[in-house]
Amino acid sequence: MIDIRIIIGIGIVVLFLLYFVSRKPSIISSNNNTYDLHVYPWGAQVTIKDILTTSWTGDVDGTDFKWERKPQGYSGFYQLDTGSHLLTDLLMMNRKEVLEVLDKHGIEHENLIESGYAYLQGGTPPINIYQDIRVDNKKINRVPVGLMALNDQGNMLKEREIVNGVLGLSHIKGGSLKPYSFLDKLLENVSRKTLFIDFKNEKMITGLDTSPDNNHFKGKIDSDGDTMRMDVWVTDNRGNSYPMLVDTGTLYSQFKYTGEVKLNGISDKKSSGTLTMKDAKMLPPNLVGNGKPVIFGYNDLYKGSMFIDYDNYLLYINQNY
């Protein structure tokens, strides 16, 4: 006969486990909307397969071995960038050469030269090709991929050594660039247009109703244009207020002065909570533009998480400091 004390003990353990599970937030709704990240102090990437690009290939020609560029698929690592809008594959060649290769092999493409879209650090307007790709081995059909020639631009060539391209995660509300939004394709099969970037656990999850983390900061994204700029309003301990760009594509946080900076939300601007720039810098204009914009960079984000609600233009941040 089983001792009544054993039954009571088992019951207590079961109740404890049920209580614990009920309080633990579920951050993964399905494997289909969860993507593995590769997180380093210098950036966070996701793998993409079957990107069609203009890469080198070689073959034997008689007694010689010859190289040429051809359109062919490959896999690569693409940097998460909340400060940009498109999925771009960075090419170490000039723009004219890219067009010549695509035309020679009859690859259908769209020349976005008139958009003028490029990165502040360099690059050229992309050449778009709609492709069926696999993001962390999850297939997404007809994704706009921009082939971006770097045209011997030093800053971008250095970046190309550690990543294959850039994964733009800012929203495009309308305008001529709307058909080329990668984010629209990433979120097309979820009812809630949200993105949880969990740096500390190296996961990216789409479609969650709410942020799973206890966040230090909540901000209304202040952006009225066709292309989102992920700005939230903050005030420093000197009483000065600023729109602050939250940009995973900028490695270091930038402020109006250097050192540790405490930033608080502004209720009138629909922001609340506190953020810390551990070691704010003043970056050169060729990296961040003129006017010393306030930027909350990757170095102050990658130990925690971000939850972006594109439906309501809200941003939640947990720095895990």
DSSP assignment of 212-268 equals SS--SEEEE----SSB---EEEEE-TTS-EEEEEEETTSSS-B-SS-EEEEEEE-GG
Give me the pLDDT at residue 299, please.
98
The verdict on domain 217-318 having CATH code 2.40.70.10 is: yes
One-letter amino acid at 144 equals P
Give me the pLDDT at residue 13, please.
46
Give me the pLDDT at residue 288, please.
72
pLDDT (tens, 9 = 90+) of the chain, 321 residues, equals: 555 555 555 555 444 444 444 444 444 445 889 999 999 999 999 999 999 999 999 888 888 999 999 999 999 999 999 999 999 999 999 999 999 999 999 999 999 999 989 887 788 999 999 999 999 999 999 999 999 999 878 888 888 889 999 999 999 999 999 999 999 999 999 999 999 999 999 999 999 999 999 999 999 999 999 999 999 999 999 999 999 999 999 999 999 999 999 999 999 999 999 999 999 999 887 777 777 899 999 999 999 999 999 999 999 999 998
The two structure tokens encoding residue 273: 């909570």
Annotate 233-269 with b (16+ C-beta within 10 A) or e (fewer).
bbbbeeeeebebbbbbbbbbbbbeeeeebebbbbeeb
pTM score of the predicted model: 0.87
Give me the pLDDT at residue 4, please.
57
Examine domains 31-189 and 217-318 and report if their fold is the same: yes
CB distance 205 to 198 below 8 Å: yes
Q: Which fold does the domain 31-189 belong to in CATH? A: Cathepsin D, subunit A; domain 1 (2.40.70)
**Mind giving me the DSSP string for 291-307?**
S--EEEEGGGTTTSEEE
CB distance 117 to 282 below 8 Å: no
Give me the pLDDT at residue 285, please.
79
Give me the pLDDT at residue 318, please.
98
Write the CB contacts of 202 (distance below 8 Å, at least 6 apart in sequence): 36, 37, 38, 39
Annotate 206-225 with b (16+ C-beta within 10 A) or e (fewer).
bbbeebbbebbbbbbbbbee
Give me the pLDDT at residue 29, please.
45
- Domain locations along the chain: 31-189, 217-318
Give me the pLDDT at residue 9, please.
52
